[in-house]
Amino acid sequence: MVLSKNCASLLGRYFRNTLIPKTLSASYTSSQVHADVKLEWTQNLNFTGSSSLLIPSYRVLNQQGQIIKESEDPKLSDSVLEKMYKNMTLLNVIDKILYESQRQGRISFYMTNFGEEATHIGSAAALNEDDVVFGQYRETGVLLWRGFTLSELMDQCYGNCDDQGKGRQMPVHYGSKRLNFVTISSPLATQLPQAAGAAYALKGKNKIVICYFGEGAASEGDAHAAFNFAATLGCPVIFFCRNNGYAISTPSKEQYKGDGIAGRGPGYGINTLRVDGNDIFAVYNATKMAKEYAITENKPVLIEALTYRVGHHSTSDDSTKYRSVEEVQHWTATENPVNRLRLYLENKDLWNEDMEKQWHTESRKDILTAFDAAEKKSKPHWSELFNDVYQEIPDHIRKQMEEMQQHIEQYKDQYPIKAYSP
Amino acid sequence: MTVRDALNSALDEEMEKDDRVYILGEEVAQYDGAYKVTRGLWKKYGDKRVIDTPITEMGFAGIAVGSAMAGLRPVCEFMTFNFAMQAIDQVINSAAKTFYMSAGRVNVPIVFRGPNGAAAGVAAQHSQCFAAWYAHCPGLKVVSPYNSEDCKGLLKAAIRDPDPVVFLENELLYGVQYEMSDEALSKDFVLPIGKAHIARPGEHITLVAHSRAVEICLEAANELAGKGIEAEVINLRSIRPLDMDTINASIVKTNHLVTVEQGWPTCGVGAEILSRVMESETFYHLDQPAIRITGVDTPMPYTKSLEIAALPQPSDVIATVKKLLKAQ
């Protein structure tokens, strides 16, 4: 039945186009079958190769923290600049403390964000809070910018009674309905087609979706599906690629050939930008322009931010096995996105060594306070074990829950009930 | 020898024996594999035989299937079987069915291998058993080895097998040392796919398990022996084909059956075994209803205490056995 229906519509098109030429408008050309771009004919056979079109990388700040071209200065207010810098450095301290706490066995897993701070903060600052975020797993800075509190963050890593995820996810799998940040999901690249779908649903609602992913995730088939559907369905989504040089141990140059991830955009008919991901203003300007375009045109944008994963992939990885110390040092010293913004702020007299020391002490204190509190909090109530597998608890699960209730009531002195939230 | 080294030596020996055998997957070459199962093989056999791929499970599973159709013998490593869901169409619709759909003209000699089942502290999306999923599909052979001997003998058999084999390892067993017999150390050591192994003989009750659950049964059997109950522990080794002969023979002797697995109960491996017993003559040899002990019917909790509660423990096996045998 499906086949015959398709055949009918195909035949219909065939008849309209070929047998009744009189009904065609005069502007019709045969190239319109293949794309909405103008087709040109040639009599020369030449390959279009991987180097035929190289997309340049947009940069605003140089490594000394100076604006290269005045017209590109986003001219952000002093308070926004200070918030940017504070968020970046706060993220660094959080990472140091939680990474160490994993090494001490206090949490089971952690992923640091070192080196990629500008991609998080620069892009988050260019969006509104009601724009929806689909993250991969290394976008903690986006949450900080939106106001995810230190307690919310620590509670998630500890999976305690105040964790909005009810302790069901591994650490760093944050999510916040309040902040329009969709909960991180472990399987790679699934967020890409989901983001296109969410953007499709948000069309005309004056907001967009931003979807973060790595250059490794872009190799998954899901990435192709996402790009093609977003383009053909006209979805207001920013595909934001953090090309950080490594997918666990696989270096970018083994992940793909051709002009990176940005090089794929034009092939899908997606407007594309490539930026220096360690330049917070370049990321900010690109994301801002992408958002304006996506929302007015109802079309996707692809941004490739070139950055570097300074830390290991996760606490399950040891990157010294596959890259040199010199390489990491180069990116930490020369290309450091946090230092670059700091130099800019110091040039403008908005920051100095005393403020740095004071902020470091203050942020460390706040983080440790939230950390200690999270560690002491009780576990989620035991009955949460039965919730949320289905929206309405089915009878067989309800029965189990009631049995457990009676059992615990009867043997309450045998169980560490105090460890669980009342 | 650790399970990891046993797998490594099986790969090494089969690569040496047959130059059609090659390995592909994420980080299998230069990084020696995420769990170091392919350690040293890239150095020994080079880029042509140990291939790092981009992160595209569907893509490299497809490459593996195509190259198997064209006469190679790929060993396709999934970093874990959780990620193999991205490639499920290649495994089920292409690898498993091509021999049949091509009327026996194109076989697909391929091994899909990697860690399966519960790991530790990695929550619902990284910690689950896919044995029942793959065992459901005709055309596949499904192997779920327990110790080092199993891993070496069965992986070699899987590589030599003319059909696609899903080879389900266990992350938590990689680093565990098990004794290897002299025979198992030989390059000619191969275990037959589809044959179970009696890991411990006994006369009072039959415990059937695969992978890490075998260890749980052996621990339980040890403790039960102290109470005068001799449990027979069957290590399934293969989930498809399922060795019902060994299971049936054991039930005829013990008249009691308990299956133990870490996967979910619904449509699981235990459910299949119990059905087959019920449908056969062996049913009349049971003195009590057969029982499944399985992972809890829930996505794997992240919390350590709940994770333990969600998986079968030796104490669960002991309690069930005692109840069945009405022992104190």
All structural domains of chain A with their residue ranges:
70-376, 382-419
Whether A7 has a pLDDT exceeding 50, the answer reads no
pLDDT for A31: 58
Whether A250 has a pLDDT exceeding 60, the answer reads yes
Closest Cβ opposite residue A159 in set B55, B56, B303: B303
**Distance, CA of B182 to CA of A357 (rounded, Å):** 65
Whether A300 has a pLDDT exceeding 70, the answer reads yes
pLDDT for A12: 43
Residue to test with chain A: of B302, B304, B305, most A Cβ within 10 A: B302
pLDDT for A90: 98
Percent over 70 (pLDDT), chain A: 91
Provide ipTM, 2 decimals. Answer: 0.71
- All CATH 3.40.50.920 domain ranges in chain B, comma separated: 197-324
Percent over 90 (pLDDT), chain A: 81
Closest Cβ opposite residue B55 in set A169, A185, A188: A188
CA distances to A147, A401, B84, B302, B304 from A377, rounded to whole Å, are: 22, 24, 37, 17, 16
pLDDT for A9: 46
Structure-block tokens of residue A345 = 């702020």
**Distance, CA of B35 to CA of B175 (rounded, Å):** 10
Q: Tens of pLDDT along B211-253?
A: 999 999 999 999 999 999 999 999 999 999 999 999 999 999 9
Least confident of A34-48, A96-110, A236-250, B157-171: A34-48
Give the 3-state secondary structure percentages of chain B, helix then strand then coil, rounded to 5.
Answer: 40, 15, 45
**Architecture of the domain delimited by B197-324:** 3-Layer(aba) Sandwich (3.40)
pLDDT for A390: 84
Whether B278 has a pLDDT exceeding 60, the answer reads yes
pLDDT for B327: 86
**Distance, CA of B266 to CA of B295 (rounded, Å):** 10
pLDDT for A17: 46
- All CATH 3.40.50.970 domain ranges in chain B, comma separated: 3-185
Residue to test with chain A: of B43, B51, B90, B303, most A Cβ within 10 A: B303
Q: How many cross-chain Cβ pairs, A to B, lie less than 8 Å apart? A: 85
β-sheet bridge partners, residue B164: none
Whether A20 has a pLDDT exceeding 60, the answer reads no
**Distance, CA of A211 to CA of A282 (rounded, Å):** 18
Q: Do A216 and B31 touch (CB under 8 A)?
A: no
Chain A residues in contact with B303 by the CB 8 A cut-off are: 159, 167, 379
**Distance, CA of A42 to CA of A309 (rounded, Å):** 45
pLDDT for A96: 97
pLDDT for B38: 98
Q: Name the catalytic one among A31, A50, A52, A100.
A: A100
pLDDT for A4: 45
Whether A19 has a pLDDT exceeding 60, the answer reads no
Q: Tens of pLDDT along A354-373?
A: 999 999 999 999 999 999 99
What DSSP string describes A107-150?
SS-----TT-HHHHHHHHHTS-TTSEEE--S--HHHHHHHT--H
Q: Do A170 and B56 touch (CB under 8 A)?
A: no
CA distances to A159, B28, B33 from B50, rounded to whole Å, are: 40, 7, 10
pLDDT band at A82 (very low <50, low <70, confident <90, very high): very high
Min distance B186 CA to chain A CA atoms (Å): 32
Least confident of A167-176, B198-207, B279-288: A167-176
CA distances to A36, A193, A294, B94 from A302, rounded to whole Å, are: 20, 14, 10, 33
pLDDT for A32: 65
β-sheet bridge partners, residue B231: B205
- Closest residue by Cα to residue A279 from A101, A67, A53: A67
**Residue B230 is a catalytic residue:** no
Task: Compute the mean pLDDT over every residue in chain B, rounded to the nearest whole number.
Answer: 96
Asked if residue A246 lies in contact with residue A252, where contact means CB atoms within 8 angstroms, the answer is yes
Structure-block tokens of residue B166 = 């899903």
Q: Name the catalytic one among B13, B14, B57, B272.
A: B57
Which residue do the tokens 């209803």 mark? B289
pLDDT for A141: 98
CATH homologous superfamily for the domain A70-376: Thiamin diphosphate (ThDP)-binding fold, Pyr/PP domains (3.40.50.970)
pLDDT band at A52 (very low <50, low <70, confident <90, very high): confident
Residue A103 per-residue DSSP state: H
Q: Tens of pLDDT along B54-107?
A: 999 999 999 999 999 999 999 999 999 999 999 999 999 999 999 999 989 899
pLDDT for A399: 94
Report, as an integer, the average pLDDT of B307-319. 97
Give the helix/strand (H/E) hosting B43.
Answer: helix B41-45
Task: For chain A, list residues whose CB is within 8 angstroms of any CB belonging to chain B.
Answer: 108-109, 159, 167-170, 173, 185-189, 216-217, 219-222, 247-250, 254-256, 321-322, 379, 385, 389
Closest Cβ opposite residue B27 in set A187, A249, A379: A249
pLDDT for A186: 85
Min distance B97 CA to chain A CA atoms (Å): 22
Secondary structure (3-state) at A219: helix
Asked if residue B116 lies in contact with residue B173, where contact means CB atoms within 8 angstroms, the answer is no
Q: Which amino acid is at A131?
A: D
CATH homologous superfamily for the domain B3-185: Thiamin diphosphate (ThDP)-binding fold, Pyr/PP domains (3.40.50.970)
Whether B202 has a pLDDT exceeding 70, the answer reads yes
pLDDT band at A27 (very low <50, low <70, confident <90, very high): low
E strand segments, A189-262: 209-214, 237-243, 246-247, 250-251
Whether A18 has a pLDDT exceeding 50, the answer reads no
Q: Tens of pLDDT along B116-166?
A: 999 998 899 999 999 999 999 999 999 999 999 999 999 999 999 999 999
pLDDT for B103: 87
List Cβ neighbours of B240 (8 Å cut-off, separation of 6 or more). Answer: B134, B135, B140, B141, B142
Give the helix/strand (H/E) hosting B59.
Answer: helix B57-69
pLDDT band at A53 (very low <50, low <70, confident <90, very high): confident
Chain A residues in contact with B80 by the CB 8 A cut-off are: none
Whether A5 has a pLDDT exceeding 50, the answer reads no
Chain B residues in contact with A395 by the CB 8 A cut-off are: none
Secondary structure (3-state) at B138: coil
Top pLDDT among B170 and A52 is at B170
Least confident of A1-10, A94-103, A114-123, B290-299: A1-10
Q: Which amino acid is at B252?
A: V
pLDDT for A34: 73
Task: Compute the mean pLDDT over every residue in chain A, rounded to the nearest whole number.
Answer: 91
pLDDT for A214: 97
**Closest CA in chain A for residue B310:** A385
